[in-house]
Structure 1
Amino acid sequence: MVTTPLAGPTDRPAPGRRRPVPRRRPSARARRRSAPLTLLTGLVLVYTLLPLVWLVINATKTQDGLFRSRGLGLDRDFALFDNIARTFTYSDGAYTRWLLNTLLYVVVGAGGATLLAALAGYGLAKFDFPGRRAVFAVVLGAVAVPGTALAVPTFLMFSRLGLTNTPWAIIVPSLVSPFGLYLMWTFARDAVPAEMLESARVDGAGELRTFFSVALPLLAPGTVTVLLFNVVATWNNYFLPLIMLKDPDWYPLTLGLDAWNKQAATAGGEAVFNLVITGSLLTIIPLIAVFLLLQRYWQSGLAAGSVKE
C-alpha cells in the first residue's frame, strides 16, 4: 500500500487565490525575430536625425567655411555664436520681426483653431440636432481636400475683401482645421461620459460652464494633439503666405528665410547661406520646446473610473 503525504497548511493555496504562474523566458528564436525590426528602426532614426545633424554642424560654419568643408565635416572656424548674433541683426533685425510674426500667427491662428475644433467636436459628439449627419459629411469631405487646392480660391476671396497683405490673410484661414475637428469629434465621443454632463447640468451648470469645467479637462489629450498639429502646420506654413503677402514686414520665418536664400541669385545680392542655415536651426528649436512641454499631457483614459458601472 502506497501512501501519499497530506499537504500541510503551508502547502495549500489560500481560498480564492491562485498560485503564481512562472513566466516563461523568451526563446532565442523569439529574440532573433526583433533583429529586423531593430534594424529598420535604426535606419528610420538615422534618416530622421541626419538632416538635423547636418543643420547643427553647418550652423557652426562661416559663409566661406560652407564651401571649404564637407557637408558633415567640421570647419576650422567655429562661428555658431557669431552666426546667431548676425542672424538677429542682419537686415535691420528682419529675423526678429519674422519670428514675432510667426508667433502671432501661431498663437492666434493655431490656438483659435484648436479651441474651435474642441468646441465643434464636442458639439457634434454630444448634441443631436437637425443636419448633424450633413455637417459630419462636410467635415469628412474637407479633410480629403488638400490645402493647396484651396489656396487660389482663398486668395481671390480675400483679395475682394481687401485683406491680402495683412495678418488676417494668414490668421483667418488658419482658424479652420477640418482634421482637428474630426479628431476632437472622435475623441469626445468616448472620452466624455454622458453621465458626468448630466450631473453637471443637474447641479445647475450651463452648457459653457459644463464644457470648460467638465468636458475640456477630459479632452486634454486630444486637445493637445490637435494643438501640436496646428502649431506645426502654422509654423511651417509657406505657400499661403507666399501668395497672400507682399510686404516683408509681415513675412513669417519660412518666407523670410526663403527670401534670404534667394537674394544671392539677384543682381548685387549678398549670399548669406550661413545665416539661412542658422536661422533654420533656430526656427525648429521652439517646435522642439513645445513638443517637450506638452508631451506629458499625451495621456489617455483620464475619465477611467470616473463613472461607476
Structure 2
Amino acid sequence: MTFDPDTRDQVGQRGHDGVYRRWYLNSLLYAGGGALVCALISVAAGYAFDKYRFRGKEKLFGVVQLGVLVPSTALALPMYLLASKAGLVNTYCSVLVPVLVNPFGVYLSRVFSASHIPDEALEAVRIDGAGELRACWSIGLRMVMPGFVTVFLFQFTAIWNTFFLPLVMLSDQKLFPLSLGLYAWNSNTHAEPAFYPLVVTGSLLAVLPLAVLPLVVAFVALQRHWKAGLTAGSVK
C-alpha cells in the first residue's frame, strides 16, 4: 500500500503540529484497549473449555488452535474485505476488532484455569447459591489472574508493535499508530530531507523510553499477580 499525495501533504503540514502525540495516544488506545478486551475474552474462553463439558469441545478447541498456524499477513486481505463490507475501514474499529481474538491466549488461559482454579472451590460457591457468571467473575477470574495478566502483556506488546494491519486498514493519518506514523514520515524523506530529523527523533522517542515505558509500568504494577500461591488454602 502506498500513501497518496494528499496524505503526504497532511503529514508534512502537521509534522510540527503535535501529530506525533496523537499517534502515540492512538497506539496506547489500540494496545491498551485491545489487549484488555482480548485478555477478558481469552480468559472466559479458556475457563469455559476447561470447566464445562459439551459436545465437540475438544474438536472446537482444536479448531481454535488452528488459528495459531495461520500468519496474520494471510488474513489481512480477508479482514480488509470484511471491514469494507461492514463499513469499518479507516476507523478505530478496523484495527481494534481483529486484535480482540488470540488463539494462543485461549490456550494459555485454559492451562492457567486447569492449574489455578480447583473444581472444589467452584462447587463450594455453587452450593452457596452463586450462579455460573458470579462463580466465574468472583472466583474464577481472581484465581486465574496470573494468566489474565500474562495474556494482556503478550497481546499489548504484539499490538504495540503491529504495523501491517493498520497499514492495510487506515488511510487517515489522524488514526495512525506510532509505527505507521513514523513510516509515513520516513516515506517522505526522499522528497523532503527535512523529515529525517523527525524520523530519527520520533524513532528514538518511540524506543527510549516511550515505547518501553508502558511495558515497564505494566510489569512493575502487575508483577504481584504472577506470584504463586494465590489459591493456597482455598481447598482443604
TM-score, normalized by length of structure 1? 0.68
Deviation at 1:269, TM superposition (A): 5.2
The one-character-per-residue Cα deviations of 1:76-100 (angstroms, maximum 9, x if unpaired) are xxxxxxxxxxxxx953100111112
Question: Which of 263, 278, 285 lines up with 2:188 in the alignment?
Answer: 263
* Range with greater deviation from structure 2 (104-113 or 268-277): 268-277
Question: Which of 155, 162, 169 lines up with 1:244 in the alignment?
Answer: 169
Q: Identity, % of aligned pairs? A: 46
Deviation at 1:120, TM superposition (A): 0.6
Structure label with greater radius of gyration? 1
Which structure has more relative contact order (CA 8 Å, sep 6+)? It is 2
Deviation at 1:237, TM superposition (A): 1.1
Deviation at 1:268, TM superposition (A): 6.5
The one-character-per-residue Cα deviations of 1:177-230 (angstroms, maximum 9, x if unpaired) are 111011001110121111110110111111111111111111011111001001
Q: Contact 1:98–1:252 (CA<8 Å) still a contact in 2?
A: yes
Query: For residues 296 and 204 of structure 1, what CA distance do their matches in structure 2 show?
Result: 31
Question: Which of 190, 202, 207 lines up with 1:276 in the alignment?
Answer: 202
Amino acid at match of 2:114: R
Q: Contact 1:261–1:276 (CA<8 Å) still a contact in 2?
A: no
Aligned to 1:293: 221
Aligned to 1:81: none
Q: Contact 2:186–2:195 (CA<8 Å) still a contact in 1?
A: no
- Aligned 1:1-309 pairs, distance under 5 A: 90-267=15-192, 270-272=195-197, 273-280=199-206, 281=208, 282-308=210-236
The one-character-per-residue Cα deviations of 1:124-158 (angstroms, maximum 9, x if unpaired) are 10000112122111122111222222112111211
CA RMSD in angstroms comes to 1.7
Deviation at 1:296, TM superposition (A): 2.2
Aligned to 1:23: none
Aligned to 2:8: none
Q: How many residues align?
A: 220
More helix by share: 2
Query: For residues 23 and 120 of structure 2, what CA distance do their matches in structure 1 show?
Result: 48
Amino acid at match of 1:121: G
Segments of 5+ residues of structure 2 without an aligned counterpart are 1-13
Query: For residues 301 and 262 of structure 1, what CA distance do their matches in structure 2 show?
Result: 51
TM-score, normalized by length of structure 2? 0.87
Amino acid at match of 2:52: F
Q: Contact 1:253–1:283 (CA<8 Å) still a contact in 2?
A: no
Query: For residues 253 and 206 of structure 1, what CA distance do their matches in structure 2 show?
Result: 43
